[in-house]
Amino acid sequence: MSYEVTEARYRVAAAGDRIPDGRVVAVVDEPGVATVIVRPGHASELLLRDIADQQASMLATGQWLRLEPGTEPGPGQDRVTEACWQIAPAGTLPEGIVCLPVEKRGRHVWLIREGEASEQLIREMSELLTAMVRAGVWVQKWTEALDAQEA
């Protein structure tokens, strides 16, 4: 069985949030909602707001599906085999762009403008995303999305 994540939230940690010692990010994953909680000083508010806004539109299109562990992808669904965050050096992203998703079949990379996130956050988010895709829980619905665009 699978379910769609309909909302991704990103925010700075507040009192009472639990982030493991030595880490700067934690993900609270519940059916329908994934919340990314970041220690203060490791991401700009603008980045957290922008990435959440961009993911909202990505999730609304239905191109991403979260599978329960052990579930196989259905027809028209491709497993994501590579996912990460990467720092985009100054001047490589257009003016005003804080983060940019770069995606192709089986691969998803978030380019993050230099200075908007700490290197530790970039590293930890990449580790978390890699663990998720290696567990086989995310698929892209490329065929269905392309079919809908052509209709």
Q: Tens digits of per-residue pLDDT, 15-67?
A: 999 999 999 999 988 877 889 999 999 999 999 999 999 888 777 776 666 66
Residue 48 belongs to what domain range? Answer: 2-150
Please compute the mean of the pLDDT values over residues 95-103 and round it to a whole number: 91
Which residue(s) pair with 64 in the sheet?
140
Question: What is the token pair recorded at 136?
Answer: 């086989």
Query: How many domains is the chain partitioned into structurally?
Result: 1
Q: How far is CA 126 from CA 7, 76, 84, 94, 108, in A?
A: 20, 26, 4, 23, 11
The residue type found at 64 is W
